[in-house]
């Protein structure tokens, strides 16, 4: 097993063991942090990966403007 797999498994386990209230607070805190250019919030990232065609969608605001125009 790769080291990254071990770390991801530990992270997954820690999230699963977290009380729901603490998990919601964590998500709220992550979502509320100011965004710098070319950064995504966790919610934006999850939305992108949950869509079937996420790989073909622009990831950053600059790319989105170019795609729209």
- Domain assignments of the chain as residue spans, ordered by start: 3-68
CA distance 25 to 35: 18
- Phi, psi angles (nearest 5°) of residue 46: -65, -35
* pLDDT in 10s for each residue of the chain, 69 residues: 788 888 889 888 988 899 999 888 887 777 666 567 777 777 777 777 776 544 555 555 565 555 554
User: What pLDDT is attached to residue 51?
Assistant: 66
- Phi, psi angles (nearest 5°) of residue 52: -60, -40
């Amino acid at each position: 097993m790769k080291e990254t797999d071990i770390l991801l498994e530990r992270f997954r386990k820690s999230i699963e063991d977290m009380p729901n209230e603490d998990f919601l607070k964590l998500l709220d805190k992550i979502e509320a942090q100011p965004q710098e250019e070319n950064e995504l919030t966790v919610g934006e990232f999850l939305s992108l990966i949950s869509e079937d065609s996420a790989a073909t969608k622009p990831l950053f605001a600059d790319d989105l403007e170019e795609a729209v125009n």
